[in-house]
Structure 1
């Protein structure tokens, strides 16, 4: 197991930061939805043109799946798209939407429900989150990440654990790409007292959080025990897709699956919850003081 903690496996792998298919799928879906609505067709009517159901059209328009080129052509014909530049743009987006991201090489250790989050992180402009159990994956040290992975997947072979760690560390490169991802993490104090991997590992993790919080694109806030937060019920991740034509997406992880929320009303609800948590949490500088105090007391 030493390979999990002695070095940073991501240092020897291809650089992350390519948005991969996630952003292109969302852009393609948004364009196709607007074209369908402009044509006055229902998802069921649109699906009939390419022999798929309304549910498949809805998933395509949400950006949850790619689309074959002949299906794009069929939809363009059904929607009455005669502008050749628009058709070429849609076909190009479809090609890019079907191109695998770097994480496709890790399909053996990334469940399909989590793969979408990895792609969205690569394409997002800002990620806001609230964590109640563990330090957010994008801010974990290799040692802490290895310990957390063993807790959840301890029965797997050592090589599978190493590959899971490689994925987690590669995901973190979005914080140092150009332009970097903007990360705003609110962490419950209980997370920072839970000695995952032992006291020494937690100490180094707290120091890492302090260092990361000083980056211009990273904000870390601690929600102290004394602060009453909203009944969030679990971790929340809000992804700002930085494209005017795309809406934000909320990721809600569960024990063995996840839910992606993209409805405007639900997204607004979770955004307001994060806003309230940010107000009740300690400000960034005070949060660094809390982190230093917690590290000193270990």
Structure 2
């Protein structure tokens, strides 16, 4: 996903620098203007022949530059490990998992439940069982969804771990999933994960009153590639939003920073989790 975005962005820059329209670019590869738009947004795969033809149209003759971009096209078409789970997740979700796998930092606000990267297996089982819909859902489907969630969590303990800053609304840690023992274990897990240097957890208490995230949960994904800006991810009932326009990202980032300021410090938040655990 990230490689598609990077390649698409570079192709757009090249096209615009030559004042070539999307329509003309599409004609050169026997495609529509909308296909070029989707390619430049990184929303479709790339055929090597199409990229070669576009580079020729855009006047890219430097052998190294062509080789680098064609290599990026081949890498963009390589399936990630998460594609093995495509049959049990919504069609839009593998895109998010690809972005998550490529991210170096994620800042997330959760309202309904604990962030997926911080869930225990039993808690994830309870959340997923409650959330799945449809007559064809089986225990195997649920188990596969849980397995995917646990596989994603490995990036938090990898050699070069993902940095995660999770802001949890009080309701996310107070709402019971799976019964008392499951919740106690989940609270213990949050406290334990907070000790990792790459994980920061804050709890936004009800006593804070209204907050700025009126539209609900969302995440800000940041990447190590200098050419790729932050992406906002907001999950919905039947799909998801991926926002990368600077003005939109800026608005969401401001809201996230406001939430961080409104929360007690990470240390006080963990004290709250310990007190809440004792009260359960």
Q: Secondary structure of the residue that 1:66 maps to in structure 2?
A: coil
How many pairs are equivalent?
277
Higher RCO (CA-CA < 8 Å; seq separation 6+): 1
What's the counterpart of residue 121 of structure 2?
142
Is 2:167 the counterpart of 1:186?
Answer: yes
Q: Which moved more, 1:288-297 or 1:155-164?
A: 155-164
Q: Deviation at 1:202?
A: 0.9
Unaligned runs of 5+ in 1: 1-21
Contact 1:121 1:174 in 2 (8 A): no
Alpha-carbon separation, structure 1, partners of 2:23 and 2:159: 41
Question: Is 1:214 the equivalent of 2:234?
Answer: no
Q: Distance in 2 between matches of 1:98 and 1:170?
A: 22
TM-score (norm: length of structure 1):
0.90
Q: Contact 1:69/1:95 (CA < 8 Å) preserved in 2?
A: yes
Q: Which runs of 4+ in 1 moved over 4 A?
A: none
Q: Does 1:98 align with 2:80?
A: no
Partner of 1:258: 240
Q: Which residue of 2 aligns with 1:83?
A: 62
Between the aligned partners of 1:34 and 1:57, the Cα distance in structure 2 is 13
Match of 2:206, SS state, is coil
Q: Distance in 1 between matches of 2:211 and 2:224?
A: 28
Residue from 38, 43, 50 that aligns with 2:29: 50
* Contact preservation (8 Å) 2:111, 2:216: yes
Q: Contact 2:213 / 2:259 at 8 angstroms: preserved in 1?
A: no
Q: How much does 1:253 deviate?
A: 0.4
- Please list every run of 5 or more consecutive structure 2 residues that lacks an aligned counterpart in the other structure: none
Deviations 1:94-128 (A, max 9, x none): 11111100011111112221111100011011001
What does the per-residue CA deviation read over 1:129-170, in whole Å, with 9 as the maximum and x for residues that have no partner? Answer: 100101110110000000001001265111111111111110
* TM superposition score normalised by structure 2: 0.96
User: For 2:44, what is the secondary structure of its paired residue?
Assistant: coil
Deviations 1:150-202 (A, max 9, x none): 00126511111111111111011111122111101100001111001111111
Residue aligning to 2:184? 203
Report the equivalent of 1:238.
Answer: 220
Superposition map of 1:273-288 within 5 A: 273-288=255-270
What RMSD, in angstroms, separates the aligned Cα atoms of the two structures?
1.2
